[in-house]
Amino acid sequence: MTLQTVTWMSAFLCLAQVCSMPMPCQLQGQLVRITHNLLRDMVHLLNYFWGHFPLECLQENVFVPFPATTFATSGAMKEYLQPDPKAIYETLKNIDTLFGADDLPTKWDQRKLENFQNIVYRQIEESKCVSYYANTDRLTVYLWTEGLKTYFGNIAAVLKEKNFSYCAWEVVRQELLYSLQFILEHNSDTFIQHYQSLY
């Protein structure tokens, strides 16, 4: 009986130790790359202009300027636009919100679309605590927050204005490909931001 009690107590203490260990908080470049590739490949490339935009939608193509200069970390604005981890996290949250719509295109590969949504959600969950870390000054946070708010607001406006049509979603897909490509190009392939959770 004593041995059983000691065994249970040991197991409980080990479990308590594991649960109290700091959890890593991370943004993984590999997942951003997979997200980008799924978004790129969820269409059949026949009849696409330059491989990314459908010929049938060329007249409805709209350019939404990406806020690259407001996307930088503090002190790096002019020399090197390395996206702030918090800005990447907010970008992923905005992408998740856009793709939470009920009227996503049926012409897209539904399996790839579902994988895309799942990986975006996974990235958000795994990097949630990024918002508590990283020493970003308030002005920088304000600049990219407003820049991203305007950018994603304009993308949502295009969708609404064009009644969530297939071509409107192609504009969204094109813009998000550019955004994810920007993040990937301004970080190394092994881009992983680690923070220690307070929990």
DSSP state of 90: H
pLDDT of residue 53: 73
Q: pLDDT value at position 76?
A: 44
Helices (H) and strands (E) in the chain, counts: 6, 4
Question: Mean pLDDT score of the chain, rounded to an integer?
Answer: 75
Query: What pLDDT band is residue 4 in, cutting at 50, 70 and 90?
Result: low
Q: What is the DSSP letter of 188?
A: -
Q: Would you list the domain boundaries of the chain?
A: 24-196
**Does the pLDDT value for residue 127 go beyond 70?**
yes
Cβ 179 vs Cβ 66: under 8 Å: yes
Confidence (pTM) = 0.75
What is the three-class DSSP state of 23?
Answer: coil
Which one, of 84, 120, 113, lies nearest residue 193 by Cα? 84
Q: How large is the average pLDDT for residues 71-98?
A: 71
In tens, the pLDDT along 21-64 reads 444 566 787 888 999 999 998 876 555 555 567 778 888 888 88
Q: Give the pLDDT mean for 99-119.
A: 91
In terms of DSSP bridges, do strands 24-28 and 192-196 run parallel, antiparallel, or are they unpaired?
Answer: antiparallel
Residues in the chain: 199
For domain 24-196, the CATH architecture is: Up-down Bundle (1.20)
The identity of residue 11, as a single letter, is A
- How would DSSP label each residue in 104-116? --SSS-HHHHHHH
The answer to whether 106 and 113 have CB atoms below 8 angstroms apart is no
